[in-house]
Structure 1
Amino acid sequence: MIRTLENDQLRVQINDLGAELTEIYDKTNDRQVLWNADPSYWNRHAPVLFPNVGRYYENKCLINGNTYHCGQHGFARDMEFTCTESSQTSVTHLVTSSDSTRETYPFDFRLLITHELSGRDLTVRWTVINEDSQTMYFTIGGHPAFNVPAVPGTSQDQYYLTFNHESELTCSLLDLSHGTVFEGKTYPLALEHGRCHIKRELFDNDTLVFDNGQVTRAGIAFPDGTPYVEITCKGFPNFGIWSAPDSPFVCLEPWMGRCDNTGFADELSSKQDINTLAAGETFKQFYTISVK
């Protein structure tokens, strides 16, 4: 079922399947902001990545001495969530562990995802509750895709990625044979006035991966430099930016943790930027999408 949030400026839709955001319609400018999931390019809009962001090395992880196999971005995005609360401006979805999830991820949990609409801002809140008797380890991330180009007669490479007035950021690139990060190999992303053009070659190695909390705000600007859409994500250690080859969208991805480093084979508990949740504890985090 599709849930709708709406005010005088935006209409937002969320699917019970995956608690996935499926539409952000800008009423003011008569414009669809969120990618339409055309399967000829990429068949998702804004999946929730849980319990793992990206790939484990060789699609397996070690938990308490046992090996588990799990695909890219985890299983939550393909699960049917239950809507627990709904109003005109807020909706909350819940999914819980099951025999099926425990086959690839051996923890009992509750995952709640709330979408809150206020003016031209949509806030996405995550709550993870450890209902297990043991400490739980996970990563979680957002993956919203935005239409770029957004205006007829413009091309994607005329648009800009925007950041926080930095002159340079440092990013890692993916080992395409494994979908993991080359440890210790970083590359500069030069910025002018905190921005750079969205050139096709930016994504030659799939995703740009930013670590160490470098990105707390990232956005897309129109060819004339005016803002189009922006994500704020304070307290997030990782951030990804991705587009499929020659596709008319760009993903801005706030992550609490990320894919493995190439060759990582240790316990999940020792993974870089892993989230650790003791028995009975609750994890909370949020990010905000602002339509300009």
Structure 2
Amino acid sequence: MIEMLSNDHLKVLINTLGAEITSIQNNDGMEYIWQADKNYWGRHAPILFPIVGRLKNDECEYDGKKYHMTQHGFARDMEFSVLKHTQDTIDLQLLSNDYTRERYPFEFKLIVHYKLIESKLSCIISVYNTDNREMLFSVGAHPAFNVPLVKDGSEQYNDYSLQLSDKGKYNEISFEAPYADISQKNKIDLSDPIRLSHDLFKKDAKVIEVPKHTQISSTLTSDKNKHGVTMTPYDNEYAGLWSIKDAPFVCLEPWWGITDDIHSNGKLKDKVGINKLVPNDKFDARFDITIF
């Protein structure tokens, strides 16, 4: 089911399947979210839980038992219930059940909270441990934005660039797609904007480590118009930039976790980027999407 949020600045559509943003439009009707053309990539902005990326051989082991789970976890393909819905706010919930227990060993509650604040859509993904033991998980978001935003042919993909709020050098994670090679980190200087090109993603996503206690916003803009998007995550561990061959979109991805390392031993407790949550506790993954 598609639910709508609106205010004087934006209209947003949220699908209860996956708690996924499917549209963000401004007052002029400009669409910012990728419209899931299956010729390229048939999703809009999936929620990633309880893993980010792919498990080695699509399986993990916990407490002597193996669990099969496909890329980015199961939340993106499950129906959420609506807990609350006002004109500018919605809360959606997913609870552990027989289906999730076959794929993931823990009891959980996942609540995705969206709120419109002027030209900003704020999202908080809250992970609750409802089990009686420590819970292991990763979580993230995967929103895709139209590039170009202007559809009259006056702009090209490479007219767009991405600028980080904190300029400087970062650790870039190497990939042997679809897995990471955490032992191979390159220093990348992001003092200047990243110019988008389709060649940029030949080897999969571009992923950097985010230093602890650092809030890094990334702003997508064009040389030829005044419109753009700012992604502002809070306390995320990794930031991803992704697209695929010749596709007219780019994903700005805040992650609290990462795909398996090429040297993974398959044990969930040893997974790179795994988060730990004690019983009856909560973890909030928060990000803001600001439209201009």
| C-alpha displacement of 1:226 | 5.1
What runs of 5+ residues in structure 1 fail to find an aligned partner?
none
Partner of 1:30: 29
| C-alpha displacement of 1:150 | 1.0
Partner of 2:290: 290
Q: Distance in 1 between matches of 2:226 and 2:129?
A: 43
Partner of 2:3: 3
Q: Distance in 2 between matches of 1:119 and 1:5?
A: 12
2:140–2:285 Cα contact (<8 Å) kept: no
Partner of 1:86: 85
Amino acid at match of 1:154: E
TM-score normalised to structure 1 length:
0.94
Q: Which moved more, 1:66-75 or 1:267-276?
A: 267-276
Task: For residues 181-236 of structure 1, give each alpha carbon's deviation from its aligned partner in whole angstroms, at most 9, with x where no partner exists.
Answer: 012212344445x4121022210111111124377211211124856101111210
Q: Distance in 2 between matches of 1:62 and 1:215?
A: 33
Q: Distance in 1 between matches of 2:166 and 2:128?
A: 36
Amino acid at match of 1:203: F
Partner of 1:125: 124
Q: Distance in 1 between matches of 2:268 and 2:227?
A: 39
Task: For residues 83-139 of structure 1, give each alpha carbon's deviation from its aligned partner in whole angstroms, at most 9, with x where no partner exists.
Answer: 010000000000111111111101111100011001000011111111111111000
Question: Is 2:170 the counterpart of 1:143?
Answer: no
Partner of 1:229: 229
Amino acid at match of 2:100: T
SS of residue matched to 1:58: helix
| C-alpha displacement of 1:251 | 0.2
| C-alpha displacement of 1:174 | 2.2
How high is the sequence identity, in percent, across the aligned residues?
A: 35
| C-alpha displacement of 1:30 | 3.1
2:166–2:217 Cα contact (<8 Å) kept: no
Q: Distance in 2 between matches of 1:274 and 1:244?
A: 26
| C-alpha displacement of 1:65 | 2.5
1:53–1:259 Cα contact (<8 Å) kept: yes
User: Which aligned pairs between 1:163-202 and structure 2 lie closer than 5 A?
Assistant: 163-176=164-177, 179-192=178-191, 194-202=192-200
Q: Distance in 2 between matches of 1:139 and 1:215?
A: 19
Change (3 A) 1:168 1:200: farther
Partner of 2:163: 162
Question: Is 2:51 the counterpart of 1:63?
Answer: no
What runs of 5+ residues in structure 2 fail to find an aligned partner?
none
SS of residue matched to 2:23: strand
Partner of 1:42: 41
SS of residue matched to 1:31: coil
Q: Which moved more, 1:165-174 or 1:110-119?
A: 165-174
Q: Distance in 1 between matches of 2:110 and 2:218?
A: 26
Task: For residues 12-41 of structure 1, give each alpha carbon's deviation from its aligned partner in whole angstroms, at most 9, with x where no partner exists.
Answer: 0101111111000011x4310011111111
Q: Distance in 1 between matches of 2:155 and 2:123?
A: 30
Q: Distance in 2 between matches of 1:22 and 1:245?
A: 22
Q: Distance in 2 between matches of 1:19 and 1:183?
A: 31
2:170–2:209 Cα contact (<8 Å) kept: no
TM-score normalised to structure 2 length:
0.94
Runs of 4+ in 1 over 6 A off after TM superposition: none
Q: Which moved more, 1:262-271 or 1:49-58?
A: 262-271
Aligned residue-pair number: 288
1:164–1:217 Cα contact (<8 Å) kept: yes
Partner of 2:247: 247
Amino acid at match of 1:67: K
